[in-house]
Amino acid sequence: MKRQTGVDSRIEYFKQRIIELAKKGQSLSMITMSLGETVACYLFLAEKEYFGNRKSFIPILNSRYWNDLLEFFPGQLEEALVCPPGAWDTLKNDKNFLLQWDIRCWDEERFSSTVRDFLCEALDIPPDTRYRRFQIHSRHKEDVEAYFESNHLIPGRTVFLIPEARFFDSEIVSQDYWVKLSTAIRKKGGTVFFNSNVPIGREPYGFLPFEDLPDFVSLCGYAVGLRTGLLDYIAAFTNTKILAIYPNQFCPVFKRRDMIEMYTHYAANRNIHSSSQEEHLCMMMDKFFHMFSIRYYTGNEHVVEWIHDTDEEKEIRRIVAELGF
């Protein structure tokens, strides 16, 4: 007889929890979540009573950010199941189990609608619902303030720059873009801090814990970056002005097989036709922009979003003008 490992026993225990909830009539769905999607899910579930939903819904999450939010977010939220190591692929590939307990796997539909659209449907709330935002504070607020000061940053005149977006796997802007932008901000009397683990120019840089980030960015006053889930996080938990830059049609991400398959499926379901590859790429880019708009779901009036301009000098001037220094 094959001996059951610790991983196997955790997966079996997890499956039993799912079965118990399913027997109680709970609606269950499997969802893989990025940081931005985890933030949306957390706030929607935390606000179930505020939204007045009539459905009992529990997500089964593949997210490495959920427990970080639980650790410091005010209040308790247990209405979610986070997959233990090894459980996600086991469950996802067990089609009989999913079918038997009527578990929907949103990963198979993830580009037909956004995770927020999916959550609105699952919670039985209007599709244009925007989650309420909260300002949260670190338990180490004094340390955050000291760190901000030690980098010689100016409160309210510092730009938190986010030069990387993991999803895109490649640069959206040129290598010297961020150096030029930080120089332009300095010339206007501002200071900058890079969210990066490597130096960019001679500016201060580093990665802050999630708990400390809202207080730090609030001290900065501004956040500018490539479209990434970190901007969702900042938009949800601060009143910082945000400038978000989306990839244009020349970004390699739109030539990836998974993105092409996603858009092809989406277009076929809606009878959308393109006459050329260039038009196809432009339509994919436009779809991406509207699916992942930060402002639409947070209702944060301090968010400004646009698609990356190939004339980078012009775009840098626009950013500085939007900052209002």
Instruction: Tell me if 44 sits within 8 A of 236, measured CB to CB.
Output: no
* Burial class of 306 by CB neighbour count within 10 A (0 to 12, 13 to 18, 19+): middle
> What's the confidence (pLDDT) of residue 271?
67
Instruction: Tell me if 17 sits within 8 A of 81, measured CB to CB.
Output: yes
pLDDT by residue, tens only, the chain of 325 residues = 444 455 678 888 899 999 998 998 888 888 888 888 888 888 877 766 666 655 678 888 888 888 777 777 655 555 688 888 888 888 888 999 999 999 988 776 665 667 777 888 887 777 777 777 777 788 889 999 999 999 999 999 999 999 988 776 556 788 799 999 999 999 999 999 999 999 999 999 999 998 999 999 999 999 999 998 899 999 988 989 999 998 887 777 777 776 676 666 666 666 666 666 667 667 767 766 777 788 776 767 789 999 889 899 999 999 999 999 8
Instruction: Tell me if 249 sits within 8 A of 284, measured CB to CB.
Output: yes
Phi (first) and psi of residue 206, to 5 degrees: 160, 170
> What's the confidence (pLDDT) of residue 284?
66
> What's the confidence (pLDDT) of residue 252?
75
